[in-house]
Amino acid sequence: QVRLVESGGGSVEAGGGLTLSCEVVSGYSSGRKCMAWFRQAPGLERDEMVAVIDGDGATEYTDSVRGRWTISQDIAKKSLYLHMDRAKPEDTGRYYCAARFDVTGGCSNHPLWFPYRGQGTQVTVST
């Protein structure tokens, strides 16, 4: 059974930064994978993928965070990270990591494409 556990959320003032972590505590696969961070917030029609990293280490970001945030992974630690810099109030939301293993093509940005997800961690950015 695949289990993902996030940590690192909290409150931060606008302009500050946080680092979210996600550990695959069980069910990790060494095969090619896609791992991503999603955001849930009022007003979003669906969970928004803010960043994704594929099996080759290629990354993609949603426009609102590109240049401010960095997604990274530590394969040895079976962990995924989201380094959030220059936070804005509109970044507020619940963030969760998601994973799909044994991927043969590219990564999707749709939350339902990822079969595994964590419980999430709240990030609140104040003015």
The bridge status of strand 59-61 relative to strand 48-53 is: antiparallel
What per-residue confidence (pLDDT) applies to 55? 86
**Rounded-to-integer distance, Cα 11 and Cα 74, Å:** 25
The secondary structure of residue 75, as a DSSP letter, is: T
Which pLDDT score, from 0 to 100, does residue 30 have?
Answer: 86
Residue 65: closest CA among 91, 47, 44 = 91
- Which letter, b or e, does each residue of 21-31 get, where b requires 16 or more Cβ atoms within 10 Å of its Cβ? bbbbeeebeee
pLDDT at 98: 98
3-class DSSP state of 123: strand
Helices (H) and strands (E) in the chain, counts: 0, 11
pLDDT along the chain (127 residues), means of 10: 96 98 94 96 94 95 97 95 98 98 94 97 97
| pLDDT at site 61 | 98
Q: What CA–CA distance (Å, rounded) separates 104 from 74?
A: 21
Give the pLDDT score at 107: 96
